[in-house]
Amino acid sequence: MIFQSKPVVLDNVSLCSIVRDEMMNPAGGIERFVESHVPYVEEAVVVDTGSVDGTRQVLEEMQARYSHLKVVDIPFTGYASTRNAALKYVKTKMALILDADELLCHKKPQNDFKVLRDFMKENPYSSYHFFFDVISPEKIRKDSVAGHTLRLFDVSSSETPFQRELWEICEIREDRPIFIPGANIKHFVPSKEATKAKSFNWYGSSESDMKRLIETWQRIPPSMREGFSEWKRFNPKRDDYA
């Protein structure tokens, strides 16, 4: 008889993600994202913000597979405001914020969920920061913190923790930031040229043009923008992680 060990589950933690047009991305797409994270949290909230590529239909199918996955529809109004709206559906104490092109591993090269669970148990705080491994087809930039916001925190810490709609930040007051050692979030990105094209064709504006930029984001979904297939091209380095 073969005995399978139970998965490590983060108690009182909900995955909380906003997604749009994620049938394919550098990390393998929405189905792979759900399968890689939902079994390892107490609850999960995945908010679709207006997908037109089939992402919403796949989420519906996966909701039937995972009873603790809640799929919600919220129109995209900007990154910070939409994340704050998504957090209203979190019922657990803590929220784990991940994007669909990011990964915490459960098996290879290690079980990040076990590392995270043990660290939280030994170091009970209201918020935790992660280091990031930014993984492109060309290289891996390890232990990065630049450009990344707080990803695990007590949802009661603030009514609207996320601020700034373009490069959103999480403004939760802390005595000192607590970084989780050894459980880096893996962020899969496309090639250097595709990343440059995405920056121009999707973001392509400054914070001062935010109202117009949000209106454009709402009117034209990602999959209808020039260069989308290159932004979302699968990064083969993803297969080194599980």
Per-residue pLDDT for 36 more than 50? yes
- Does the pLDDT at position 146 exceed 80? no
Q: Any idea what the Cα angle at residue 190 is, between residues 184 and 192, rounded to 5°?
A: 105
Write the pLDDT tens digit of every residue in 157-189: 999 999 988 788 998 888 788 999 999 999 999
Residue 7 has pLDDT above 80, yes or no: yes
pLDDT value of position 1: 47
Q: Residue 178 domain-assigned?
A: yes
Q: With H, G, I as helix, E, B as strand and everything else as coil, classify residue 21.
A: coil
Each residue's pLDDT tens digit, 47-75: 999 999 999 999 999 999 999 999 999 99
**By CB neighbour count within 10 A (0-12 exposed, 13-18 middle, 19+ buried), where does 21 fall?**
buried
Q: Which domain holds residue 214?
A: 10-240
Percentage of the chain modeled with pLDDT above 70: 96
Which ranges in the chain belong to alpha helices (H)?
A: 30-37, 55-65, 79-87, 112-122, 192-198, 210-219, 228-231
Does residue 240 carry a pLDDT above 50?
yes
Residue 2 lies in a domain: no
Q: What is the pLDDT of residue 213?
A: 83
Residue range 41-48: average pLDDT?
98
Q: Is residue 5 part of a domain?
A: no
pTM tops 0.85: yes
Q: Give the per-residue pLDDT at 205.
A: 54
- Which residues sit opposite 31 in a β-bridge? none
Count of structural domains within the chain: 1
Q: What is the CATH number of the domain that holds 41?
A: 3.90.550.10
- Residue 31 included in any domain: yes
Residue/partner pairs of 140-149 with CB below 8 Å, 24 or more apart: 140/237, 142/184, 143/184, 145/179, 148/185, 148/187, 149/97
The backbone torsions φ and ψ at residue 236, rounded to the nearest 5 degrees and listed phi first, read -60, -20
Q: Could you tell me which residues are beta bridge partners of residue 14?
A: 43, 95
Asked if the structure places residue 4 within a domain, the reply is: no
What is the average pLDDT across 193-205? 81
Region 35-48 average pLDDT: 98
Query: How would residue 214 be classed by pLDDT, with cut points 50, 70 and 90?
Result: confident
- Token pair in block for residue 101: 């092109």
Neighbour-count burial of 64, counting CB atoms closer than 10 A to its CB (0-12 exposed, 13-18 middle, 19+ buried): exposed
CB-neighbour burial class of residue 159 (10 A; exposed 0-12, middle 13-18, buried 19+):
exposed
Asked if residue 69 belongs to a domain, the reply is: yes
